[in-house]
Chains A and B, each alone.
Chain A
């Protein structure tokens, strides 16, 4: 059913993709994006995120299901008629054309006159502060400059939807952070809908309105960055986004928003039930390193405390990072701010740690 509801600008409807007819690279994908949203597809390589982007661009065909753009199914529309802007990982600037000619290409295709073209080229290059380079060739520009030109070229013909396939992958860290900011600013200023693919979670968290975490051909969680980090819905997301401590055990008691989990070595911990519903279920509890508390005074008097042994104490400038042995797990990390009143530990110190139940999520085992 074609609709023109503005919150369904891009729709994936039960989309499946298989290259060989047997293995599904994308399994039953459902996604709907409102106009103007910046959505990131995040996931490890081989998770199907790039395939989804390519299906949207038209370079791959969906084996099953519908992809709709602004209410119209686009499965049978060839890529060059979709009017979707795209930024490629290696920029894909035409080496035999000047920057101006590169930007003029999509306008020429649309039969636009010379003066109108030039005005648009100047405006688009102005958006990325590259006006002075209009007569250069791509090879004469640095990676960051090429990246800006590629961005301008994808925007110059004013598409409503822009796709970006790991566009910052080849840049160094500082430039990448700067470009992240610039891309989000442009996307919001121009009100374009953006689908951004990356495997860099920092990029995903800092740039997006919503992030779709892909794994194994499925969206594991689709949520705003804060939810994704604070309230992961399953072990994969908890583990993939940010640093995470995981402990395996069995649910002992469950009471609304609170449960206790008996870890495999017999320790009892507090948690918030997410993917568990009854006592006796196996679970994996997940807790962020910065939410681990070593000062019992800051916790609820009834909180369960756990014995831990310091294996490593790392000074990181603004933070301290302590690797602990907790309930048999040797990679349990506790992170806290560097402040006068914070303790500094030695290797071998025995301490007691705990956490607020709402910071510890009992997820699928």
Chain B
């Protein structure tokens, strides 16, 4: 959008002002994240740039903190916890969320909006409230402090993302396809796996990525619902910050940022693929 020649001085000011504002917003969003990346290679146990680092002296940099992360039993324990909780929570979210979305897309379901609102609510209710509620509820039924308790809690947080993304793909889904499958002799289960699921797969996968990131980054609920045995990476970082300020946190943060970027890139590729499929679908 180039500036037209007839622009008034006010429009010119706004034209450049707008770009400056956008740049500032971008800077404030990205800088705190970007700055931890070089810091994580700090050779010293400091959270600040050392004079050697600023002089770009190779002596000032090291993989020390990364080595620490991969050798320290506390961090390793946390990583394996995160890596065992997040995929399972994702699996539960995706299965339940997809079923809910498919069910809610049927025209004859009563109270659709109400059900939808209830299912989406974990996204809207303040996390601390969900966490406290789940703590008391899970304590009563014996799930508090267990692996499955944390998995379920994280699955509940992930379900809204799956419902939203799958519902969005279902909007473009042609119901005569399921009828066609039935007319050719396929039962409902086969129709779902062979016809419906492949077509809504991009939505299911984006939902899964969101659910995964939700669980992987989550700290509030896990502190309430989990016990020392379920200490995840974010939890470990949180305690690390409070108790033993170690730049290993920066190394972990960098790795997590990298993972998030990877997942977001996957998401974007899937979205494009989805758009292409949509453009190709008949009618």
Chain A residues proximal to chain B, CB less than 8 Å:
57-59, 78-86, 88-96, 105-106, 109-110, 137-139, 146, 153-154, 157, 163, 170
**Among A92, A139, A154, A163, contact of B176 (Cβ-Cβ < 8 Å):** A92
**Among B179, B181, B190, B282, contact of A95 (Cβ-Cβ < 8 Å):** B282
Alpha-carbon gap, A157 to B183, bound state (A): 11
Residues from 145 to 191 in B contacting A, C-beta threshold 8 Å: 174, 176-177, 179-188, 190-191
Residues in A with CB closer than 8 Å to B177 are: 92, 94
User: Are A139 and B281 interface neighbours, CB within 8 A?
Assistant: yes
Alpha-carbon gap, A153 to B184, bound state (A): 9
Could you jot down 25 A-B contacts, CB within 8 Å?
A58-B182, A59-B182, A79-B179, A80-B181, A80-B186, A80-B191, A88-B179, A92-B174, A92-B180, A93-B180, A93-B282, A94-B195, A95-B199, A95-B280, A105-B184, A105-B186, A109-B186, A109-B190, A110-B185, A139-B279, A139-B280, A146-B282, A153-B180, A153-B184, A170-B283
Residues from 235 to 283 in B contacting A, C-beta threshold 8 Å: 277, 279-283
Alpha-carbon gap, A299 to B181, bound state (A): 59
A91-B283 contact, Cβ under 8 Å, with A80-B187, A105-B184: yes
Residues of A contacting B: mostly: loop
User: Are B282 and A80 interface neighbours, CB within 8 A?
Assistant: no
What distance in Å separates the Cβ of A251 from its nearest Cβ neighbour in chain B?
50
Closest A residue, CB atoms, query B279: A139
User: Are B182 and A80 interface neighbours, CB within 8 A?
Assistant: yes
User: Are A79 and B176 interface neighbours, CB within 8 A?
Assistant: no
Residues in B with CB closer than 8 Å to A85 are: 183-184
Alpha-carbon gap, A153 to B176, bound state (A): 14
Residues in B with CB closer than 8 Å to A94 are: 177, 180-181, 195, 199
User: Are A57 and B183 interface neighbours, CB within 8 A?
Assistant: yes
Residues in A with CB closer than 8 Å to B279 are: 139
User: Are A137 and B174 interface neighbours, CB within 8 A?
Assistant: no
User: Are A106 and B176 interface neighbours, CB within 8 A?
Assistant: no
Residues in B with CB closer than 8 Å to A89 are: 176
B112 within 8 A of A: no
Alpha-carbon gap, A154 to B182, bound state (A): 12
User: Are B185 and A83 interface neighbours, CB within 8 A?
Assistant: yes
Alpha-carbon gap, A75 to B194, bound state (A): 27
User: Are B182 and A88 interface neighbours, CB within 8 A?
Assistant: no
**Among B182, B184, B187, contact of A157 (Cβ-Cβ < 8 Å):** B184
User: Are A90 and B185 interface neighbours, CB within 8 A?
Assistant: no
A90-B283 contact, Cβ under 8 Å, with A95-B277, A96-B198, A96-B199: yes
Residues in B with CB closer than 8 Å to A82 are: 183
A105-B282 contact, Cβ under 8 Å, with A92-B174, A96-B277: no
Closest A residue, CB atoms, query B175: A92
Residues in A with CB closer than 8 Å to B283 are: 90-91, 170
Other than the given A80-B183, A84-B183, A95-B280, 6 more pairs (CB < 8 A) read A59-B179, A90-B283, A95-B281, A109-B184, A109-B185, A109-B190
Instruction: State which size class the interface on B falls in.
Output: 20 to 34
Residues from 93 to 136 in B contacting A, C-beta threshold 8 Å: none
Alpha-carbon gap, A106 to B186, bound state (A): 7
Residues in B with CB closer than 8 Å to A110 are: 185
CB-based A-B contact count at 8 angstroms: 84
Closest A residue, CB atoms, query B280: A139
Closest A residue, CB atoms, query B199: A96
Alpha-carbon gap, A333 to B186, bound state (A): 53
User: Are A81 and B180 interface neighbours, CB within 8 A?
Assistant: no
A91-B183 contact, Cβ under 8 Å, with A96-B198, A96-B199, A96-B277: no
Residues in B with CB closer than 8 Å to A79 are: 179, 182-183
Alpha-carbon gap, A110 to B184, bound state (A): 9
What distance in Å separates the Cβ of B239 from its nearest Cβ neighbour in chain A?
47
Closest B residue, CB atoms, query A90: B283
Residues in B with CB closer than 8 Å to A157 are: 184-185
Residues in B with CB closer than 8 Å to A90 are: 174, 176, 282-283
Residues in A with CB closer than 8 Å to B176 are: 88-90, 92
Alpha-carbon gap, A106 to B190, bound state (A): 11
Closest A residue, CB atoms, query B194: A105
What distance in Å separates the Cβ of B170 from its nearest Cβ neighbour in chain A?
15
User: Are B179 and A105 interface neighbours, CB within 8 A?
Assistant: no
Closest B residue, CB atoms, query A162: B183
Alpha-carbon gap, A326 to B188, bound state (A): 61
Residues in A with CB closer than 8 Å to B179 are: 57, 59, 79, 86, 88, 92
Closest B residue, CB atoms, query A79: B182
What distance in Å separates the Cβ of A149 from its nearest Cβ neighbour in chain B?
10
Alpha-carbon gap, A96 to B194, bound state (A): 10
Alpha-carbon gap, A81 to B190, bound state (A): 13
What distance in Å separates the Cβ of B175 from its nearest Cβ neighbour in chain A?
9
Alpha-carbon gap, A157 to B181, bound state (A): 13
Alpha-carbon gap, A91 to B184, bound state (A): 13
What distance in Å separates the Cβ of A277 from its nearest Cβ neighbour in chain B?
47
Q: Bits for B219-233, please: 1 = Cβ < 8 Å to A, else 0.
A: 000000000000000
What distance in Å separates the Cβ of A19 from its nearest Cβ neighbour in chain B?
10
Closest B residue, CB atoms, query A88: B176
What distance in Å separates the Cβ of B202 from its nearest Cβ neighbour in chain A?
11
Residues in A with CB closer than 8 Å to B195 are: 94
Alpha-carbon gap, A82 to B182, bound state (A): 9
User: Are B186 and A138 interface neighbours, CB within 8 A?
Assistant: no
User: Are A88 and B180 interface neighbours, CB within 8 A?
Assistant: yes
Alpha-carbon gap, A279 to B198, bound state (A): 69
Closest A residue, CB atoms, query B176: A92
Alpha-carbon gap, A82 to B185, bound state (A): 8
Closest A residue, CB atoms, query B180: A92
**Among B190, B191, B194, B282, contact of A138 (Cβ-Cβ < 8 Å):** B282
Closest B residue, CB atoms, query A156: B184
Residues in B with CB closer than 8 Å to A146 are: 282
